[in-house]
Amino acid sequence: MALASKRIGLLVPSSNSTVEVEFYRALPPDVSLHVARLPITQVNPESIAGMADSLETEAKKLASADVDVIVLGAAAPSFLKGMGYDREMSQRIARATGKPATTASTALLQSLAALGASRVALGTAYSTTVNDIAIAFLRANAIDVVKAECLGYVDNLEIGHLDVQSAYDLGRRIACPEAQAIVFLCTNWQSMAIIDRLERDTGLPVLSSAQFSIWAGLKTIGYSARIDGYGRLLREMPALAGV
Which pLDDT value is given to residue 68? 98
Cα–Cα distance measured from residue 108 to residue 112, given in angstroms and rounded to the nearest whole number: 6
Name the band, by pLDDT with cuts 50, 70 and 90, for residue 125.
very high
Summarize pLDDT for 159-170 with one digit per residue, the tens: 999 999 999 999
pLDDT at residue 235 tops 70: yes
Name the band, by pLDDT with cuts 50, 70 and 90, for residue 195.
very high
Cα–Cα distance measured from residue 75 to residue 34, given in angstroms and rounded to the nearest whole number: 18
- What pTM, to 2 d.p., does this model score? 0.96
Which pLDDT value is given to residue 243? 55
Name the band, by pLDDT with cuts 50, 70 and 90, for residue 3.
low
Provide the 10 A C-beta neighbour count for residue 91: 11
Q: How many angstroms separate the first and last alpha carbons of the chain?
A: 39
Cα–Cα distance measured from residue 18 to residue 138, given in angstroms and rounded to the nearest whole number: 24
What is the sign, positive or negative, of the torsion defined by CA atoms of 111, 177, 188, 163? negative
Summarize pLDDT for 53-66 with one digit per residue, the tens: 999 999 999 999 99
Could you tell me if 171 and 184 are in contact, meaning their C-beta atoms sit under 8 angstroms apart?
yes
State the average pLDDT for the chain.
96
Cα–Cα distance measured from residue 26 to residue 127, given in angstroms and rounded to the nearest whole number: 28
Which pLDDT value is given to residue 184? 98
- At residue 175, the 3 state secondary structure works out as coil
| DSSP conformation letters of 102-154 | EEHHHHHHHHHHHHT--EEEEEESS-HHHHHHHHHHHHHTT-EEEEEEE----
Which pLDDT value is given to residue 4? 75
| Continuous H helices in the chain | 19-26, 45-50, 55-63, 76-79, 85-97, 104-115, 128-140, 156-160, 165-174, 195-202, 209-220, 232-236
Cα–Cα distance measured from residue 129 to residue 133, given in angstroms and rounded to the nearest whole number: 7
Alpha carbons within 13 angstroms on the beta-carbon side of residue 181 total 25
